[in-house]
Amino acid sequence: MQDPVDAVGLSELPLENLVACHECDLLMRKPELAHGEKAVCPRCGYELYANRYNVVQRSLALVIAALLLFLPANFLPIMQLNLLGQSSNDTVWSGVVALFDTGMQSVSVIVFLCSMGIPLLKLLCQLTVLLSIRFDVGRSYGLLLYRIYHHIREWGMLEVYFMGVLVAIVKLADMAAITVGLGLVCFIGLLLIQVWLEVVMSPHQIWQALSGEDAHAGD
């Protein structure tokens, strides 16, 4: 936790020694953190950034796990619906195709991008960024991809799709026999791993590593 900078001190400090709170805009001196410590805004309590252990290795493990779950989460049955003697296996991809075939092409494109396309692009960007840091190659491309990641991260809406699946299950439960499929388990795992990845992959440490300021981001 750091004290805010007064008006005189503010003009004397270089920009790289200052940090502003994302929530209340309080300007303060950037603290030097040891491993495991975090900086907190003294005004609102918002976590400014943290210095976590083994950021690159842990993040790489989570990204690889998410990529392994991506295909089964989207192409294995989320649920099996039995209604009036007829059964159907529904997947994320089959939902996109069904929307397209029923004439709702624009909706199907949006669903595809938010549930499959952008989440996959995010994971690939994260993987490339982490590999560029881990092997110390192509960090300029890593910087570009990390900027792209931050621009598209809000468009990957797996949690919204998951809520839609839950609503559908609840509404159809009284009308048909529903069996939860392995795809739903993989989808939940993918969602949880991505949330965990957002916590582990400290943006402050990643930016520092990409710019060459922190050579020990993976420690």
Strand duo 27-29 + 47-50: pairing: unpaired
Note whether residue 206 is domain-resident. no
The pLDDT tens digits for 131-156 are 999 998 888 888 899 999 988 887 77
Domain count, the chain: 2
Distance of CA 205 to the CA centre of its chain: 16
Tokens standing for 89?
């296996």
The pLDDT tens digits for 29-88 are 777 777 667 788 888 887 777 777 788 999 999 999 999 999 999 999 887 777 666 777
Note whether residue 72 is domain-resident. yes
> 86 and 155: one domain?
yes
Note whether residue 39 is domain-resident. yes
> 193 and 99: one domain?
yes
The pLDDT tens digits for 168-212 are 777 666 676 777 788 888 989 999 999 899 888 888 888 888 887
| Length of the chain, in residues | 219
> 65 and 94: one domain?
yes
The Cα 96–Cα 110 span in angstroms is 9
Note whether residue 205 is domain-resident. no
Note whether residue 184 is domain-resident. yes
> 130 and 186: one domain?
yes
Note whether residue 190 is domain-resident. yes
Structural domain for 97, as ranges: 55-200
According to the model, what pLDDT value does residue 2 have? 46
Alpha carbon distance, N-terminus to C-terminus of the chain: 23
According to the model, what pLDDT value does residue 7 have? 43
Note whether residue 213 is domain-resident. no
Instruction: Find, among 98, 87, 78, the residue nearest to 181 by Cα.
Output: 78
Q: State whether residue 180 is helix, strand or coil.
A: strand
pTM of the model: 0.77
Note whether residue 102 is domain-resident. yes
